Amino acid sequence: MRNTAKITTAVLAAGALTLGLTACGADKDSASDKNGPLVVAASPVPHAEILNFVKDNLAEKAGLDLEVKEFTDYVTPNTATEDGSVGANYFQNQPYLDDFNKKKGTHIVPVVTVHLEPLGLYSHKVKKADELKSGATVAVPNDTVNEARALKLLAANGIITLKDGVGNEATPADIVKNPKNLKFKELEAAQTPRSLDDVDAAVINGNYAIESDLKPAKDALVLESPKDNPYGNFLAVKKGNENDPRVQKLAKLLTSPEVKKFIQDKYAGSVLASF
């Protein structure tokens, strides 16, 4: 499944490159042009929506020329930031970035944490987690960090038990108690919402849940707690660009009272401001 995941992600990444980077191919070094617009790679929901709120309502007054490019995978925004195709990205959390930098040899660093998208367990077949039948199939994201995060969500709610001390590389092999004999189907994270008609339940990242018209605060069978949660999403840049004046302006705007109100009003608890 890991090899399949890599192939699937590569295909998605290639598609995203075609869609997102063709327009800025001539601007490959835009990250180093401090006089040009700040190009930010982002997942469509909620990241690009939040950035577009900033662009439409706050950026001009702050003297920031902001351009938002949307990507549907979790790979291209970092590789594009690393090679200078974009100046920053906004889509990920610290455990994911640590794992990505280690495996890909990239040098991406966080600038400011903006929000949390609680991970949730969803189903079209049951209304409560304890209604899952013996042998039920649960879809989980197949990238290392999000799969571990999904399993820890299930463990925190008493659905499974993981080995003591298991970290951000947990897999189903680390399950020590599985009272319902659940089976796990590993899918690329973006595919998990589409699997709901084919599996008994799925653990879905907040952004993909919202894109699929799921309301995490209302529809999730179980939902991550925001307390002491390490998975806040942040604005990130290639190391050395943290003090770019454009990046600093955006960081300030993303943590402004106006953005907090926008998040509260638009997402009604499905996205939580982290500042």
Instruction: Walk across the sheet containing 137-141 and list its strands.
Output: 183-187, 137-141, 201-204, 120-122, 222-223
Contact 169, 148 (CB under 8 A): yes
Separation of alpha carbons 152 and 188, rounded Å: 18
Contact 13, 75 (CB under 8 A): yes
Tens of each residue's pLDDT in the chain, 275 residues? 333 333 334 333 444 443 444 334 435 555 667 789 999 999 999 999 999 999 999 999 999 999 999 999 999 999 999 999 999 999 999 999 999 999 999 999 999 999 999 999 999 999 999 999 999 999 999 999 999 999 999 999 999 999 999 988 899 999 999 999 999 999 999 999 999 999 999 999 998 999 999 999 899 999 998 778 889 999 999 999 999 999 999 999 999 999 999 999 999 888 999 99
Tell me the domains of the chain and their CATH numbers: 2-118+230-273 (3.40.190.10), 120-223 (3.40.190.10)
Nearest to 166 by CA among 178, 181, 180, 155: 155
**DSSP conformational letter for 127:** S
